[in-house]
């Protein structure tokens, strides 16, 4: 791979959820370009499955796409938080269920062309009802959907599609 040279990097926006940077790069053909991207903010998601082959999903309004989405429970990691602990925390906060068994499915860059953030995806079983504990700006409706009948067309995003398809394979429903 040819060499890319960073000439300048500056933070142009920051709030509690996101940082935006601008980088001036010299490309291998000597052309100078400005590249805008977000900083590293990692997130987790959980495919939480019951013995009857149902999966916990959440419906919530997403302002970026101006619609209500159907997704797996997910959220951002806190500072210095272990991804598995964050997955367990988010599952219980959003759905009111604690998982006694959890395993990592995979990790991947959310959008490497625009962000350095990673997404950690988990599969959970042996669920115990506790209590939902939403943040003051979270409004989610918890739903149980059958893995036998749910279609990827009813899901809103890549993490949820990957998680549901993984859960189906793990449970022998394909």
Per residue in 20-42, pLDDT tens? 989 999 899 999 999 888 877 89
Specify the pTM.
0.89
| pLDDT above 60 for 66 | yes
Cα separation, 135 vs 115, whole angstroms: 25
Phi, psi torsion values for 157, nearest 5 degrees: -155, 165
Q: State which H helix or E strand residue 75 sits in.
A: strand 74-76
pLDDT of res. 1:
57
Catalytic residue among 6, 11, 51, 136: 136
Contacts for 30-37 with beta carbons within 8 Å, 24 or more apart? 32/7, 36/12, 37/113, 37/114, 37/115, 37/116
Q: Which CATH architecture has domain 41-169?
A: Alpha-Beta Complex (3.90)
Residue 136 falls in the annotated catalytic set: yes
């Amino acid at each position: 791979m040819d060499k890319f040279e960073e000439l300048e990097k500056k933070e142009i926006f920051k709030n509690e959820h996101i940082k935006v940077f601008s980088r001036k790069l010299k490309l291998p053909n000597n052309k100078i370009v400005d590249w805008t991207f977000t900083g590293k903010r990692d997130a987790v998601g959980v495919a939480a499955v019951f013995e009857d082959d149902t999966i916990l999903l959440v419906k919530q309004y997403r302002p970026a796409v101006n619609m209500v989405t159907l997704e797996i429970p997910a959220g951002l990691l806190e500072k210095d938080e272990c991804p598995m602990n964050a997955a367990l925390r988010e599952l219980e906060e959003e759905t009111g269920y604690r998982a006694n068994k959890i395993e990592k499915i995979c990790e991947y860059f959310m959008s490497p062309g625009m962000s350095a953030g990673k997404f950690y995806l988990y599969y959970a079983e042996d669920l115990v009802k506790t209590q939902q504990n939403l943040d003051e700006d979270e409004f989610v409706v918890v739903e149980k959907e059958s893995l036998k009948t749910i279609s990827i067309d009813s899901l809103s995003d890549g993490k949820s599609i990957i998680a549901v398809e993984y859960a189906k394979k793990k449970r022998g429903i394909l």
